[in-house]
Amino acid sequence: MRFDIITLLPELFAPLLASGVTRRAYASGQVDVRLWNPRAYAEGHYRRVDDRPFGGGPGMVLLAEPLARCLAAIRAGRGEPRAGQAPLVLFSPIGEPLRHRLVQRWSASAGAILLCGRYEGVDQRFIDAHVGLQISLGDFVLSGGEIAAMALLDAVARLQPGVLNDQDSHQLDSFHPALDGLLDCPHYTRPQTWAGQSVPAALLSGNHAQIERWRREQRLAVTARHRPELIDAARQAARLSAADEAFLAQLGGG
């Protein structure tokens, strides 16, 4: 899996690639990350990559030509057949929200080329000619696409075999199909009592069926309280049992 990152600030990625448990994915080459600065493909003494927008207004716009040259170099380096080229992804407010389903799809792919915008945006002609997919982290605006690119890389890297200490741990993450798309339950560790609060009795029972039912009910309760639309989605997909529905009814969420 290879991700080529087009960014004016490649230095921002160094800590991500060298820190935390996901560094295993990058160090092993499971997730091959290559950084490309479009300034290297700009002309003139100042290697200019931006200019004022036509029609006036604040800010600057990334030039199409340096981006096109950078993209051509990446595609040449990847050596892909034209019919099987990696998609060029732009992080943008109009893009598809980055959800677990999309991350899972990327985690099983051959990778992509990620374009990190800056300033007021990218010349629309470049987007129209080359961008195949746009992705958004949410309804807010960042200074650039680098943080969004890091979020995608981290989410994808942790799903690669051997990256996490416990290979099955990601299956208990919030939104995972193994949890029927629900949020995860609360977690507790030692000491048994802290600041006057004790660990829930069910977790100390040693009864695995009781523990699993407690966790299921907590997932239902947390999801119903904070993300009720996920309950609706699980219900529509027939993922809720009669016991789940009875518990939700007791909460007033059924």
Residue 18 has a CB neighbour count (10 Å cut-off) of: 10
**Catalytic pick among 2, 66, 146, 158:** 158
**Catalytic pick among 154, 173, 184, 245:** 173
Closest CA to 251 of 205, 202, 240, 174: 240
Beta-bridge partners for 111: 2
Closest CA to 65 of 52, 82, 50, 86: 50
Contacts of 8 (CB under 8 A, 6+ apart): 37, 38, 39, 49, 116, 118, 144
CB 203 within 8 A of CB 211: yes
Q: CA–CA separation, 146 vs 63, rounded Å?
A: 18
**Catalytic pick among 15, 47, 52, 93:** 93
81 is catalytic: no
CB 135 within 8 A of CB 142: no
120 is catalytic: yes
Q: CA–CA separation, 245 vs 64, rounded Å?
A: 54
DSSP for residue 251:
H
173 is catalytic: yes
Q: Which two tokens stand for residue 103?
A: 């991350």
Q: CA–CA separation, 123 vs 55, rounded Å?
A: 13
Closest CA to 47 of 36, 58, 37, 59: 37
158 is catalytic: yes
| CA–CA distances in Å: residue 67 to residues 52, 73, 79, 221 | 16, 10, 18, 48
By annotation, the residues acting in catalysis are 93, 120, 158, 173
